[in-house]
Amino acid sequence: MLNKVLIDEMKERVFSANLALPEAGLVKLTWGNVSEIDREAGVIVIKPSGVPYSTMEACHMVVTDLDGEVLEAGLKPSSDLATHVQLYKAFKEINAVVHTHSKHAVMWAQSGREIPAYGTTHADTFYGVVPCTRQLTSEEVASAYELETGKVIVEAFSEKSIDPLAVPGVLVYGHGPFTWGETPQKAVENSIVLDEIAEMACVTEIVNDRIQPIPQYLLDKHFFRKHGTNAYYGQT
């Protein structure tokens, strides 16, 4: 039996977070989606597939179980649902996922390059490089594209021993960015930051083609002043 109050609250948060994507200039047309998970309740709420933001309402958000099986009659979920599900299964601490085709992050994804930490704006949110996955194989694309997209993200974090809480985002080779966070709002914020640092890194390399990432001590200072037990940025 679904908890209607809890579901309605999740729908409102996911709806608001989805609307924040075009407002932030991160999506055009219907190119983006946000989801939220409640592991205790056993549900995921996600944007419906292909519905224009201008006509979308909170009631249109789709409810599924933790395996992505739809629990309410209504619209179809985002086609990227299987990727979100895979991330939730692998990254147990995250509660929301965002996918966009934001211009600057996609430029790096299409280039197949990770984004180096060239400055403190990057370090405030991402503790080191933002990784780029390998290219999916033709077999992976043909068999279960969205599921395999999630798997290749998890693979990249596992092989490079990256903490998904310290680096809350990734580039999927030839595709685009995914970010995540404690809440839908925070996951959207991480998408905004990711696209900003992608643009900054691109221009930085144009201005200085021999630039190196910032030193570890500066990366540490900026990340840990905002994150962790000794963080001191902001109000208590």
162 contacts: CB under 8 Å, gap ≥ 6: 128, 131, 156
Residues involved in catalysis: 124, 233
The CA-CA-CA angle for residues 130, 20, 182, to 5°, reads 55
Q: Do residues 109 and 173 make contact, with C-beta atoms less than 8 angstroms apart?
A: yes
Please give the single-letter amino acid code of residue 60: H
Residue 196, φ and ψ in degrees, nearest 5: -65, -45
CA separation, residue 193 to residues 92, 121, 167 (Å): 23, 8, 12
| Closest by CA position to 37, among listed 78, 82, 94 | 94
* Rounded distance between C-alpha atoms, residue 172 and residue 66, angstroms: 23
CA separation, residue 82 to residues 56, 69, 144, 151, 211 (Å): 21, 10, 9, 10, 38
Q: What is the largest CA-CA distance in the chain?
A: 59
Question: What is the chain's length?
Answer: 236
* Rounded distance between C-alpha atoms, residue 72 and residue 59, angstroms: 11
